[in-house]
Amino acid sequence: MNRDQVLSHLSEARDAIAQTVEDIRVTPDYDDSEYWVDMQHIYHHINTAWNSRNATVAEVDPVTDGRFNRWSQFPSDLPMIEVSR
């Protein structure tokens, strides 16, 4: 696992989540369009942390447009478990 890559993107996601929570908390007119942009940013970093976890340093620096787009996509190899209530 490329720990530096994973930690970088998880840290960015953590910071983006904290900023989004604060923006929603203090901005009375925060709306769906702002939320949409913020969630794209958060998912980009979470998805990239997963999808690029095995990338080499040479693949990460400098990253190509193709890798950036591929790594940003929702993981196809990370099944989501449906929980019944």
* Residues recorded for the chain: 85
- Per-residue confidence band for 36, with pLDDT thresholds at 50, 70 and 90: very high
Among residues 44, 43, 60, which one has the least CA distance to residue 52? 60
Cα gap 55→77, rounded to integer Å: 15
Cis geometry, peptide bond prior to residue 75 (ω within 30 degrees of 0): no
Please indicate, yes or no, whether the overall pTM of this predicted structure exceeds 0.85.
yes
Average pLDDT over residues 47-66: 95
Q: Give percent of the chain above pLDDT 90.
A: 87
Computed on alpha carbons and rounded to an integer, the radius of gyration of the chain in Å comes to: 15
69 or 84: which leads in pLDDT: 69
The pLDDT of 57-80, averaged and rounded, is: 92
